[in-house]
Amino acid sequence: MADYPDFYYPNEDVIKNAHIKDWDSFNSEAMNDPEGFWEKHARELHWFEDWNCVLDESNKPFYKWFKNGKTNIAYNCLDVHMQTYRRNKLALVWEGENGDVLTHSYYSLHRETTKFANILRSLGVKKGDRVTIYMGRIPELMLAMLACAKIGAIHSVVYGGFSVEALHERIEDSESRVLITADGAFQRGKIVPLKEIVDEALKRAATVEHVLVVKRTGQDVYMESGRDMWYHELAALPIAMQNGSHTEIMDSEDPLFILYTSGTTGKPKAILHTHGGYMVGTYTTLKYVFDIKDEDRYWCAADPGWITGHSYIVYGPLLNGATSFMYEGAPNYPYPNRWWQMIEKYGINILYTAPTAIRGLMRFGEAWVNRHDLSSLRLLGSVGEPINPEAWRWYYNVVGKGHCPIMDTWWQTETGNFMITPLPCMPLKPGSGTKPFPGIEMDILDEDGNPVAANQEGYLVIKKPWPAMLRTIYKDPDRLVSQYFSRFPGYYMTGDSARRDEDGYYWIIGRVDDVIKVSGYRLGTAEIESALGSHRDVAESAAIGIPHEIKGNVIYAYVILNNGVVASDSLAEQLKAHVGYEVGPIAKPEKIEFVDSLPKTRSGKIMRRVLKAKAQGLDPGNLSTLED
Ligand code: WT7
């Protein structure tokens, strides 16, 4: 094996201009007084009224941050910049997959958000109402989110790669009356028929009264009269501009959004985040981790439909007054140099993406990268799953030319912001996110809740509350307690296992529950099994994740067919397509295997560990609890 250094030291130029040059002193300041640390950063943002208590712990684990403070995150993203030089600064540079380009200054983003907000108000949307947003990666997605925040509505963004049943379930659970979508989205040269999927989902969901449709692709779509409206037609009406630009004053703890994510069992749960704490957390973490400066062009290549996009495409960058780049389509369309071409064209300084994207582009070889001048890059980032050292080194050497530190950020939908992450001034080890962000206290515990020794694997937990933490599960607060705060009382259980080396660096191993990360996307075995179960030929099924070179994991499904149904390859293909239609293409099983029975415990729980071992030809281990 080649000899690699233990540490990769940051380059001098990066540190010289970084906000934080010395991690240790910054960290000790934060650790000595975490509340003071967060409060200091909260003061860098605008509050209509001050809080009277930074952290209220009187009703654990339902913590409150900046209690009784009044603010609005959208006001801090847009309005505050109207009085400064940032008014005419670019907030967003967007490129469509088909080559369309669109830019927004802070001024125009503010103006268009105001229009959008007025339209939502004219449809009767009020503070506290839920609005579902289902779109591709286009600027209007950002506008729709900000407009909701501005009027105090709670947005529920459903990733555009989800399909009929996933969308239906999320609309129904949130009881949204208004849904915002687009006619379609360009993806890999084809059109994702978003509006068609909406129409199907709405046949199953009864709450939606109005559908706002943004024109993106221009193909013919069905418009139901009285329900569906073109966004551009409403935006041209006087109501869009003549209602002024009133921003709702929100309590620090008022909900900002819900975002559905997969858990251990049952349906996806709606993670709820608030205006105050989430704002302070995303602002502070982005500022220091990606060392955001006014002159930067920052590109987070995630989708706004996931937490990464919420925190680090929409809110974090705008709170910092940054210039962001957004790209609509696939990384390798029409050729594998698309990303590198855009980095050169727009002079991107910071690129934040997922290991699966790196591995996907790596397989095309470095010639595609080397055709472009990537010297504008200063920092790189990774998120979503552990990055394997091989992909790390390729990213570091081929993309970053050996001088751009990689910020490997570990966090979750629930945490709202980065939790384990380097700062640019820290020495790195490929595959480790280094240490918890200053002010965050974490640990690794054994089965009995005792901290494990160095290099031992254990449960990753968060020991103290932090401002951007989830506040509850929408409509199901008991689940917050049972899912996160029961296993190790007082601590937040992440669902990941990890180890910590002798230098105090954390290494994430992976999920210890029934969550599967496919290409960095979070899916639950229950969703896949429920989609399979909705097919008329399926009696029972079990889904598992199997390691995959590019995607991290892929899904295998074991299926028991109904009596009399004959197994065939074409039925397997049909079932894959069925899951794709119901949940989304990302959830399609790679392989379906028909079986007569499933390994279960005596209490009837499927033993996925046994299936996993079988699929990989490994020893299934202890089978004493197996029923049959
Ligand atoms: C799970 C959370 C939060 C951004 C996107 C994912 C895994 C996330 C890393 C990383 C190793 C990671 C964990 C975590 N994960 N980032 N840098 N290294 N694993 O959010 O969809 O809520 O998934 O993603 O398993 O629990 P999410």
Tell me, what's the pLDDT at 605? 87
Pair 328, 96: CB distance under 8 Å? yes
Give yes or no for residue 317 CB within 6 A of ligand 1.
no
Tell me, what's the pLDDT at 94? 98
Peptide linkage before 547 cis (omega within 30 of 0): no
Give yes or no for residue 412 CB within 6 A of ligand 1.
yes
Give yes or no for residue 416 CB within 6 A of ligand 1.
no
- Give 264-317 pLDDT, tens digit per residue: 777 899 999 999 999 999 999 999 999 999 999 999 999 999 999 999 999 999
Q: Which residue CA neighbors atom 8 of ligand 1 most closely?
A: 384
Best mutation site among 311, 508, 521 for ligand 1, i.e. most ligand atoms within 8 A of its Cβ?
508
- Give 18-73 pLDDT, tens digit per residue: 999 999 999 999 999 999 999 999 999 999 999 999 999 999 999 999 999 999 99
Q: How far is the CA of 432 from the centre of ligand 1 (A)?
A: 13
What 8-state DSSP symbol labels residue 342?
H
Confidence of residue 2 (pLDDT cuts 50, 70, 90): low
Give yes or no for residue 121 CB within 6 A of ligand 1.
no
Tell me, what's the pLDDT at 242? 82
CA distance readout (Å), 628 to 538, 562, 600, 618: 21, 20, 7, 19
Give yes or no for residue 522 CB within 6 A of ligand 1.
yes
Which residues 6+ apart lie within 8 Å of 354 measured at CB? 301, 302, 382, 383, 384, 385, 519, 520
Ligand 1 atom with least separation from CA of 302: 5
Ligand 1 atom with least separation from CA of 411: 3
With helix as H, strand as E and coil as C, how does 15-40 read?
Answer: HHCCCCCCHHHHHHHHHHCHHHHHHH
For residue 444, which amino acid is it?
A: I
Q: How far is the CA of 506 from the centre of ligand 1 (A)?
A: 14
Pair 294, 273: CB distance under 8 Å? no
Tell me, what's the pLDDT at 248? 98
DSSP SS3 for 548: strand
Q: Which two tokens stand for residue 290?
A: 């990606």
Handedness of CA 139, 141, 143, 149 (dihedral sign): negative
Beta bridge partners of 65: 55
* 628 pLDDT above the threshold of 70: no
pTM of the complete model beyond 0.85:
yes
Range of lowest pLDDT (10-14, 271-275, 451-455): 10-14
Confidence of residue 623 (pLDDT cuts 50, 70, 90): confident
How many angstroms separate the CA atoms of 624 and 126, rounded? 56
User: Within 60-138, where are the H helices?
Assistant: 73-74, 80-82, 106-122
Give yes or no for residue 517 CB within 6 A of ligand 1.
yes
Tell me, what's the pLDDT at 42? 98
Tell me, what's the pLDDT at 192? 97
How many angstroms separate the CA atoms of 287 and 296, rounded? 12
Give yes or no for residue 411 CB within 6 A of ligand 1.
yes
How many angstroms separate the CA atoms of 526 and 320, rounded? 38
Q: What strands, in cross-sheet order, belong to the sheet with 538-548?
A: 538-548, 552-561, 591-594
Give yes or no for residue 176 CB within 6 A of ligand 1.
no
- Give 183-225 pLDDT, tens digit per residue: 999 999 999 999 999 999 999 988 999 999 999 999 999 999 9
Share of the chain above pLDDT 90, in %: 92
- Region class of 24: left (phi > 0), else alpha (psi between -120 and 50), else beta: alpha
Pair 418, 409: CB distance under 8 Å? yes
- Give 74-118 pLDDT, tens digit per residue: 999 999 999 999 999 999 999 999 999 999 999 999 999 999 999
Confidence of residue 1 (pLDDT cuts 50, 70, 90): very low
Q: Which residue CA neighbors atom 3 of ligand 1 most closely?
A: 412
Pair 92, 298: CB distance under 8 Å? no
Beta bridge partners of 412: none
> Torsions phi, psi of 110, nearest 5?
-65, -45
Higher pLDDT among residues 66 and 3, named by residue? 66
Q: How far is the CA of 354 from the centre of ligand 1 (A)?
A: 10
Pair 407, 289: CB distance under 8 Å? yes
Q: Which residue CA neighbors atom 6 of ligand 1 most closely?
A: 384
Ligand 1 atom with least separation from CA of 409: 17
What average pLDDT does this structure show over 527-541?
96
- For the chain, give the mean pLDDT: 96
Give yes or no for residue 469 CB within 6 A of ligand 1.
no
Determine how many CB atoms are found less than 10 A away from the CB of residue 597.
10
Give yes or no for residue 305 CB within 6 A of ligand 1.
no
* 540 pLDDT above the threshold of 50: yes
Best mutation site among 411, 512, 523 for ligand 1, i.e. most ligand atoms within 8 A of its Cβ?
411
Q: How far is the CA of 522 from the centre of ligand 1 (A)?
A: 8
Tell me, what's the pLDDT at 581? 96
Tell me, what's the pLDDT at 5? 78
Give yes or no for residue 308 CB within 6 A of ligand 1.
yes
Pair 305, 335: CB distance under 8 Å? no
Q: How far is the CA of 82 from the centre of ligand 1 (A)?
A: 35
* 341 pLDDT above the threshold of 80: yes
- Give 342-365 pLDDT, tens digit per residue: 999 999 999 999 999 999 999 999
How many angstroms separate the CA atoms of 125 and 141, rounded? 17
- Give 466-523 pLDDT, tens digit per residue: 999 999 999 999 999 999 999 999 999 999 999 999 999 999 999 999 899 999 999 9
Q: Which two tokens stand for residue 500?
A: 């910590």
Q: Which residue CA neighbors atom 1 of ligand 1 most closely?
A: 412
Pair 501, 455: CB distance under 8 Å? yes
Q: How far is the CA of 256 from the centre of ligand 1 (A)?
A: 22
